[in-house]
Amino acid sequence: SMGKINTNSNVYTIVYATVLVIIVAFLLALANSALKPRQDANVALSQKKQILASINERNLGDKQSEETYNALISDAQVGDLTFYIAKKDGKELYILPVRGAGLWGAIWGYVALNDDRNTIFGTYFDHESETPGLGGEIKTEKFQNQFIGKHILDANGQFVGIGIMKAGQTADGMEQVDAISGATITSKGVETMIQTSVQQ
């Protein structure tokens, strides 16, 4: 006669563990595929909120953000570059994505230009891992609002960007905003990011 299964044998333990791992892996895969659309939607919504912030449409709820975005913003492509066009208060604004490096990791954001493609209408910057109270300040409206009304071209129409300077320093031929004190590298990172991303 067949004996009872020996639950103390190594084979039993290995088979049991293997079956358990397969079940858990299956359940995780199922949960992941169920959550993925929601995660993707959250990422897309977050991006829309960041783009809206660059045209000074801030602190909107989720539904309001979707509606405002759909009402104001469309995307456009030039070569490999995707940018966004906003129609706001009868004006056409050009919103350019910017990416760069801070002190500790990636920084990114959006710079909105008036239809002269020179005057900054608004900005939004964010970061992966800058120090709170220091480099992390690039995320604040106080820092971002300094860029409003600044020009990225010089008097001859050449692209120069925006200088981000410590108090008392002057940027050669550039309009400038104040660097975040104690966060020179992150501040310069924003300057370089605008330089390299917007110039295209």
Which phi and psi angles does 106 have, rounded to 5°?
Answer: -65, 145
| Predicted local distance difference test score (pLDDT) of residue 78 | 86
pLDDT tens sequence across 80-120: 889 999 999 899 999 999 998 888 889 999 999 999 999 99
pLDDT mean across residues, the chain: 89
In three-state secondary structure terms, 108 is: strand
Instruction: Assess whether pLDDT exceeds 60 at residue 1.
Output: no
Q: What is the DSSP letter of 135?
A: G
Q: Are 163 and 191 in contact (CB under 8 A)?
A: yes
Q: How confident is the model at residue 4 (pLDDT cuts 50, 70, 90)?
A: confident
Task: Report, in angstroms and rounded to the nearest whole number, the Rg of the chain calculated over CA atoms.
Answer: 25
Q: In whole angstroms, give the CA distance from residue 187 to residue 121.
A: 20
pLDDT tens sequence across 120-176: 999 999 998 888 888 889 899 999 999 999 999 988 888 889 998 887 787 678 889
pLDDT tens sequence across 53-79: 999 999 899 999 999 999 999 999 888
Instruction: Assess whether pLDDT exceeds 90 at residue 196.
Output: no
pTM for the model stands at 0.79
> Which DSSP helix (H) or strand (E) runs through 19?
helix 10-54
pLDDT tens sequence across 72-91: 999 998 888 899 999 998 99
175-178 vs 162-165, strand pairing mode: parallel
Spell 71-85 as b/e; 16+ CB within 10 A means b.
Answer: ebbeeeeeeeeebbe
| Predicted local distance difference test score (pLDDT) of residue 43 | 86
Q: In whole angstroms, give the CA distance from residue 114 to residue 47.
A: 21
Q: What is the DSSP letter of 117?
A: S
Q: In whole angstroms, give the CA distance from residue 126 to residue 190.
A: 10
| Predicted local distance difference test score (pLDDT) of residue 171 | 67
**45-60: average pLDDT:** 94
Tell the burial category of 110 from Cβ atoms under 10 Å away from its Cβ (0-12, 13-18, 19+). Answer: buried
Spell 130-165 as b/e; 16+ CB within 10 A means b.
Answer: beeebbbbbbeeebbebbeebbbeeeeeeebbbbbb
